[in-house]
Amino acid sequence: MEIILSKRCESFTGSLGKGFGYHIQRRKNGFFAKRNSKGEIPANGHLRFIFFCAYLAQLNTHITDIRVPRCEFQSALSEAGVSLSGARDIRHESSAADVLTLKEKLNL
């Protein structure tokens, strides 16, 4: 998942909190979600991290948007034990607004 920062924020790396099992890492081409290499990752940690980043994007302070590839979003849903039957509407790449709309649609 790519994380798009606001113009007011040059860099934003590290953990967003305990219990996700993911953090934000800077690469040459931007900022991306990265699975922690140490410690336990909750089954729903990836999905919760995606939802939290989407929520932060809606606040429009540090993060303005996210880009989640379909395969990553479907994988996060599957890991969390969410039925993929309602996930047919996942686009090739989802934005923060798309993610939050699907969250509401799936009652998560």
pLDDT of residue 89: 65
Do residues 34 and 43 lie in contact, with contact meaning Cβ atoms separated by under 8 Å?
no
pLDDT of residue 23: 95
**CA nearest neighbour of 63 among 11, 105, 25:** 11
- Tell me the H-state helices in 1-108: 45-59, 70-79, 96-105
**CA nearest neighbour of 65 among 36, 25, 99, 34:** 99
pLDDT of residue 86: 59
Express each pLDDT in 55-72 by its tens digit: 999 999 899 999 999 999
pLDDT of residue 5: 96
Distance CA(38)–CA(29), nearest Å, equals: 25
Which parts of the chain have pLDDT scores under 50? none
